[in-house]
Structure 1
Amino acid sequence: MARTLFVAPGQRGALGSIGEALDAADDGATISLAPGEYSETVDLRDRSITITAAEPGTVTISSSSRDAPLLRATRCRLELHGLVLRATDEPGIEVRGGRAKITGCEVSTEQAAAISIVDGADVELSGTKVTGGRYGLVIEESDGVVDRCEFRDIADDGVILRLGTRATVRNSTLAGCGFRGIYLYQAGNSGVERCEISQTGDAGISVADQTSPTISECWIHDTQGVGISVGRGCGGVVDSCRVENTAPPGVLLADGARTEVREGEPDAATPHVGAAAATSGRQDLEQVEKLLAELDGMIGLAGVKHEVRGLIDELQVNEWRRSEGLSVGTVSNHLVFAGAPGTGKTTVARTYGELLRALGVLPNGKFREVSRRDLVGQYIGHTAEKAASAFDEARGGVLFIDEAYALSRSSAGSADFGQEAIDTLVKLMEDHRDEIAVIVAGYTGEMVEFLDANPGLASRFAKTIEFENYSPEQLVQISRHIAKGEDYVLDDDVDSALLEWFAHIERDENFGNAREARKLLERMRKSQSSRLRSLGHRPSRTDLRTLTLDDLLDAVRSEG
């Protein structure tokens, strides 16, 4: 049975700090905090832990460092309940991969995003209040549900959903945001349901860059910009929303937007439009073309795009043959993605799942990312149960196993357990091959080793798709793309310096490709912050958006 550890500084028999409790806690433990204030920074990696207030709202955790998130969870299974988190220059909560459930909390910061969800995380945020910060909530390349939350007095955007994210924001309130209430950027089929958005410095909801959301039963009022703005190339539905006292027109569709606007007033009794439904074999060819266009819009990856298009073409032709009564051979939807980190494997896997859904091959585009720790147990018989559970959770969509080669390697005497996970997956992949797409990913050489771990494993996969490293020129493009997505611009003289940096950076096994570009931009933002705070006056909007050559040089020096 999981332990509960009680933290109460100065109380006999209790632990004195959160850090002490984390050092003593086993995976699955609950840490219960007595009322009071705790000045600590929490950094969790590969842990399964619950942190809860003994009495909700009576526990405040504040930053002990201005250089790190107040609470960072990397590849964890984390639950937070009833906490008040007060950060300064960094996020109050940062979730990198893994799964997190955050309920009944209050989160604030001064400079960064109050809550940051990145790197393939799966997060449920409910009953939580977010105040202050440059952004309220940022979800990037992750899945999430935001329910009954409140975002107030945010300096810039209240909520940002971007770059491969699939999330739903519902039953929530956003007020007093300096720029936009909710900004969706390359956020696929995300949704905004039954939300109230008011007093924003620009649009209440802004949709951009190939996003096709469902926006339903929302009340948007008293905004300086339009109520809802939809950019060129975007689709989706705006259904039964009320837009009042905003800049005209209430709903602005750019030329080339494909969004359907349905009239009606918000009604709590009306089922929300975005409810998931099985495809039952029906095809949405418009959605297929939209997803393929999104794939084509990715920087680089020419070989990957060609391979994915070939798979989709085969599936489409097979469906045509089937409709004409012609025979169709068995096709596996399982794939191997081989290549270095940061080359877009996770993003392409998500898109592939959505394509299979649109083609009617799979009932939904659900995406479940796991690693060795999610599949391998700690005792005999536990592994098969964990592997089967992860498989079942992904049924109807994509099971993405990152660094899959770790399953075939010895680890602290549990090598047989890793092999048990592989053997379990091999059987499940065959028994349910029409219900799921399993994608295994990792370095090219190690994936060859992985496929040799079971005699039937290699035959379960349709093919191996190689993801090449990005060229220096492509990394410059990616840097500009990331900067644009975060409302930054790079000075004209930055490109040549970036090109030189990426051309000379060491490309060993730790080289992260697009992650290197993102890390460099993060350091440039920190350098810009220091530069602007030393001006002695409030910077202009242009100053706040522009990253300069000096910022790059300072960021490079700090890395060295």
Structure 2
Amino acid sequence: MTTTTLAAALEALETVAAGAGVDPAGARREGEALAATVAEPNKGAFVDWCAETGRASSAEPFFDAASRGRRYRVAQTATMSLLAAGGSAHAPAYAAALGDVALAAASLGTPDPRSSGNAVTAAAAQLAEAPAQRPTPPTLGDEVTGSLLEQLSVVQRKIAGLNTAPLPSLLGDGAAPSAPSTSEQQPPVAVQPPPGTPAEPEPAPEPERPAKTVEELLAELDELVGLADVKAEIHRQAAVLRVEGLRAEAGLKTPDITRHMVFNGNPGTGKTTVARLVAGIYAALGLLSKGQLVEVDRSELVAGYLGQTATKTAEVVASAIGGVLFIDEAYSLSGDQYGREAIDTLVKEMEDNRADLVVIVAGYPLPMAVFIGENPGLESRFRTHVEFADYTDDELVDIFAVMARGAEYDVDDAVLERLRTILGGVDRGPTFGNARYVRNLLEASIGRQAWRLREVETPSLEQLRVLEPDDLAEIEPVDIGGEADGPDPQREETT
């Protein structure tokens, strides 16, 4: 197999999206943003990115797309979230297509080892079930997992400088075979059956996976590292809303309980991961029809001219109906007429779609308190505030270990001790990235491992998987980018 071009990978992504019944143009925008953020460290990548996406050569659209796409290195795209939340049979193919996009993007411009780390974590992030959060390996029968693990095998061989012939399954002999990546698929060769041979029946369509129960989703929440107070609040909300639904079914009066929330916390404290689980929990309770998460920031709500912002915000809200709209750094909407137009539109849309939409706004604690307090229309609708505390060193070490395992890398006690040393020397100011910081450490270490193996002609499977203490090196917190570096990792954190 040869590595596909970005243009071909994006075209394949659109094809899969069309087959899944979702907007191909939206899928392409996600793919272009994912490719830009993966390739961002590569010198001159914007030239190749523009050529592959059919744009005139300019750095501005590339870096705009890279900024939007940073969240996709650590969390599902909106379309992937929609397909996964609905148990779509097309989810594995879409995840594999996104993996192809990430792999192709790592080769744009002059490749830098950091882009290889970006590609690996971006591919892993598209799994439907947050593998970096589970303390055990992914379920072997999960088609999405199998599809993405195939992609990770290709990425690992790519960054080690090998040809990309398939590796033995990293799941072991008992694993279910994974779906081929979109760049591997070949058209079948038609063979004429002998005369009189009965025609084979058409294969049955792939069944959709059953939706997760509330209990399963709450169990996933409980498996997250740390976040004790957050878990308790989400459990309480689930219990209250469950009883509200039972009272309504019994014909009893029910209080008007607002479902919208404010997530207060520093970068990388798990806000996006928990928002995704909230979307699933609310859908399992029958309060939302789909359960997808649509994550945006100011740039995706505000347009360049007055009047356009209302339309842009309404379109974003429409894409989130049936699920959760998650607005990161929501306080950035304060202070100008464009932001006020977005807020006014948001309040109207929340009221018009209150039966099938939940909005979660998130950001630093103090600016969020000011933001909500300054807007009466918001204050009356956001009465539930959830506080996300910073992680301890022990929690960050645990998060690093499960992130590495989710991306198919092995780390031993020596690596984790090296991580503890690095964390002990990092300034924990208000912009410290928490789990995002250790996610960036992991991405950088994956790049260093690739560089370390550059002259090994045929690395073993163990060499491709093992990270060594010297692969970890301290990075400046400023490199993490604070809130601008994308949504929270614990999936991120991984979010």
TM-score when normalising by structure 2: 0.62
Which residue, 420, 423, 427 being the options, matches 2:344?
A: 423
CA contact (8 A) 1:321 1:328 kept: yes
Counterpart Cα distance in 1 of 2:385 and 2:74: 26
- What residue number does 1:519 align with? 440
Say whether residues 1:298 and 2:224 are aligned partners.
yes
Counterpart Cα distance in 2 of 1:294 and 1:184: 24
Which residue, 534, 538, 541 being the options, matches 2:461?
A: 541
Counterpart Cα distance in 2 of 1:181 and 1:50: 17
Shift of 1:314: 0.6
| Local SS of the residue matching 1:493 | helix
Shift of 1:266: 8.3
Say whether residues 1:274 and 2:208 are aligned partners.
yes
Shift of 1:418: 0.7
- What residue number does 1:338 align with? 264
| Local SS of the residue matching 1:316 | helix
Counterpart Cα distance in 2 of 1:509 and 1:72: 36
Give the letter aligned to residue 447 of structure 1: M
Trace 1:352-391 onto structure 2 (pairs within 5 A). Answer: 352-391=278-317
- What residue number does 1:458 align with? 379
Say whether residues 1:324 and 2:245 are aligned partners.
no
CA offsets 1:408-450 (integer angstroms, 9 cap, x no match) = 03xxxxx111112112212222232221000111100110121
Counterpart Cα distance in 2 of 1:381 and 1:463: 31
CA contact (8 A) 2:95 2:127 kept: no
Q: Rate the CA distance shift 1:340–1:123 in 2: closer, same or farther, 3 A.
A: same
How many residues are paired up? 368
Say whether residues 1:504 and 2:425 are aligned partners.
yes
Shift of 1:383: 1.7
| Local SS of the residue matching 1:469 | coil
Counterpart Cα distance in 2 of 1:500 and 1:477: 14
Counterpart Cα distance in 1 of 2:361 and 2:40: 38
Counterpart Cα distance in 1 of 2:208 and 2:398: 34
Trace 1:228-247 onto structure 2 (pairs within 5 A). Answer: 228=176
Counterpart Cα distance in 1 of 2:279 and 2:48: 27
Q: Rate the CA distance shift 1:184–1:432 in 2: closer, same or farther, 3 A.
A: farther
Q: Rate the CA distance shift 1:181–1:367 in 2: closer, same or farther, 3 A.
A: closer
Larger helix proportion of the pair: 2
CA offsets 1:500-554 (integer angstroms, 9 cap, x no match) = 22133112233111111011122222322333335x6644322322222222258
Q: Rate the CA distance shift 1:300–1:498 in 2: closer, same or farther, 3 A.
A: same
Which one has the largest radius of gyration?
1
Q: Rate the CA distance shift 1:99–1:304 in 2: closer, same or farther, 3 A.
A: same
Counterpart Cα distance in 2 of 1:73 and 1:333: 45
Shift of 1:321: 2.1
The unaligned stretches of length 5 or more in structure 1 are 1-47, 52-62, 84-91, 101-115, 125-141, 168-178, 186-198, 207-223, 231-264, 277-283, 410-414
Counterpart Cα distance in 2 of 1:516 and 1:203: 31
Say whether residues 1:483 and 2:449 are aligned partners.
no
CA-based RMSD:
4.8
Counterpart Cα distance in 2 of 1:82 and 1:372: 26
Counterpart Cα distance in 2 of 1:73 and 1:433: 44
Shift of 1:49: 12
CA contact (8 A) 1:341 1:512 kept: yes
| Local SS of the residue matching 1:400 | strand
Counterpart Cα distance in 1 of 2:320 and 2:232: 26
- What residue number does 2:181 align with? none
- What residue number does 2:392 align with? 471
Say whether residues 1:439 and 2:360 are aligned partners.
yes
Counterpart Cα distance in 2 of 1:94 and 1:266: 49
CA offsets 1:330-367 (integer angstroms, 9 cap, x no match) = 11111111111111111111110111111101111122
Trace 1:14-413 onto structure 2 (pairs within 5 A). Answer: 67=42, 70=45, 81=53, 98=68, 118-119=74-75, 121-122=77-78, 145=94, 162-163=124-125, 165-166=127-128, 182-183=148-149, 201-203=167-169, 225=173, 228=176, 267=202, 270-274=204-208, 287-409=213-335
Give the letter aligned to residue 477 of structure 1: D
TM-score when normalising by structure 1: 0.56
Give the letter aligned to residue 469 of structure 2: L
Counterpart Cα distance in 1 of 2:40 and 2:266: 33
Identity fraction in percent:
36
Q: Rate the CA distance shift 1:226–1:73 in 2: closer, same or farther, 3 A.
A: farther
Shift of 1:322: 2.4
Which residue, 448, 472, 480 being the options, matches 1:552?
A: 472
Shift of 1:404: 0.4
Give the letter aligned to residue 273 of structure 1: P
| Local SS of the residue matching 2:369 | helix
Q: Rate the CA distance shift 1:358–1:95 in 2: closer, same or farther, 3 A.
A: farther
CA contact (8 A) 2:267 2:432 kept: yes
- What residue number does 2:157 align with? none
CA offsets 1:60-107 (integer angstroms, 9 cap, x no match) = xxx999945945999xxx996579xxxxxxxx999756479xxxxxxx
Larger strand proportion of the pair: 1
